Structure 1
Amino acid sequence: MSSLFEPYTLRSLTIPNRIWMAPMCQYSAEESGPDAGVPGDWHFAHLAARAVGGTGLILTEATAVSPEGRISPADLGIWNDTQVAGFRRITRFLAEQGTVSAIQLAHAGRKASTDRPWKGGGPVGPEANGWEPLAPSPVPFADGHLLPAELTVEQIEEVVGQFAGAARRAREAGFEVVEVHGAHGYLIGEFLSPHSNRRTDAYGGSFENRARFALQVVDAVRAEWPDELPVLFRISATDWLDEGGWTVDDTVRLADELLAHGVDLLDVSSGGNASGVRIPVTPGYQVPFAARVRAETRLPVAAVGLITRPEQAEKILSNGEADAVLLGRELLRDPSWARRAAGELGGTVHTPPQYDRAV
């Protein structure tokens, strides 16, 4: 049988196959009022379709741990009980399809308070439900972006507590996996990289100091999350800068620390923290980063990045480059990619009885 369709176990949780859905923002929640950040019909239909299509694990979009942690005012959140109730409908349906429900907990940091991409994606102010972004240092992401406020030590501790509260609510909402978002130039990634972290206190300067916030968040999430269920961490393996940024060597070093703090798998992406960089985007271009972490540490990894063809995904696993693959845009194009891949490679995935005639 193809490796893609073998179950995979993390702690006590067995995921039915190695085809997982990467988190992709939908920018489709209410922006303000009591239903701000609550998943609605769009989110249900979007995630349910991929579960019906046989995907083994589905990660929600970046889900903010606080209102100011959203990338845009239209992002999902999990900072209150109304949002918890909205997610329960989704996790219940995914479980009925045999799909594992996972949630990505996030804080956008200096890249917060921006508009929907199809409206330009530029910064928005209070008149458009925006707010002042927060960051490790008062350095904007790019020209034209809002100047973020530098977090005080007290505020850092508050954000760590917000991640802990979000993890607790995620379990109440029925999720079986949490992923801490440390990639793509959002708050945790901003602390990790010297490109965005100019602090001179205990959270800046040395590798140990820049990693402090990430590990505190992981500890806080792990403390709230059941011991028998896994915690993932998404990392940008490199800033794609020639100097002065986060590197693959740093990622390998951090992977060992994350494992020691209770992380069960590293979701390996790249980029997002520096504007204007050139990234050689080709099929599977990020897979070597995942492969290196897997080869040089004991932390399992998932690979992501222009993985589109079943035989390509199978080769990544059979070559030992990753333990699972995460598909993004390809699952937007084809919600039943997993079932199609099973047909091509001779595997099996869950098929609802309503769809038996199509097998």
Structure 2
Amino acid sequence: MKFNKVLRDIKTYEAGKPIELVVREFGIAPEDVVKLASNENPIGTNPAIAKVIRSNADIAHLYPDDSMFELKAALSSKFNVTDKNIIIGAGSDQVIEFISRAVLDENSSVLMSAVTFAMYEIYAKQMGAKVLRTASYEHKYDEFMEAFHMRKPKIVYICTPNNPTGDATSKEEVLAMIKAMHKDAIIVVDGAYMEYASAKDAKYAITPNDLLGYENVIYLGTFSKAHGLGGMRVGYGIAQVELIEELTKMRPPFNISTLSLAVAIEACKDESFVEESITLHQEQIKRYETFADENALEYIDSYTNFITYLFDETLNSTKISDALLQRGVIIRNLASYGMNAVRITIGTQKQNDIFFKHFKEVIA
């Protein structure tokens, strides 16, 4: 059987290991497994979400409202935009897929930082496009400008805060890059972790309204992180009407489920859960920073709900990740990104207690 030749150069996305895998392979009870690999919200979801799921269970056999009127209305109110500025995806990565399919072909390219969200590359390669990376994982103005003007990419990805590294790019720097790039490229500002960056330092806070003045820029957001709805798969893109209209042609009908739509609408109503999640995070991440300082470990200053530890030649990220996995602690090994580093989601106090107990033993 023959498959499309572009598939030869695509590596399957490596998701964070599930709890079920650890239970199967190492015989550890599910309640003893600590998952700090996929940047999920450690305190779960807003208690009101469970009520919404139960109350909508009897209509799960019905397709959702494909106009997504209520969800768009809630997002419109939250961000002070119109419903015509919004497109909904099954996670924000589906919106990335729409963008890729809309503008890329085998004669085009995309530009991103050296280490960033893997799906940018995967969707680009599915369309036969070339992938251009800067030298640094940070979004450095000079590096992006040099590559942009030399290669004329069709899509530019600015992931801030950046996944999987955790660093952020200031609003001033992002706007400077946007203004210096021509309008033939779509510029994607991926704000999946923006709630955490905004809470930490206002100069890194970017809202969709900051970008709506640019016809070729789209802002991406998600309910998977601060809102704790990773399992429901709801994301969104916000841009000028003309860009959203074109991307909507890529969207299949009913692309999020009836229950996903209902819980996303509910999540928009109560920001107190997001505030609670961020408060816990801000308290607990200090433990990771202090531990790194006390043990001479390098880390990237994080504006997300995770932290990245960078190792020297005396420590190996793969060996450390594997050893922790056998102890029931799941973290993300960044060796596949070409980094001798690990990414750790900041958990609850109890989860972090367990992590540090085992991590100390492993690195010793």
Specify if TM > 0.5.
Answer: no
Pair member with larger Rg: 2
Output the TM-score relative to the length of structure 1. 0.28
Output the TM-score relative to the length of structure 2. 0.28
Structure with greater helix percent: 2
Does 1 or 2 have the higher relative contact order (CA < 8 Å, sep 6+)? Answer: 2
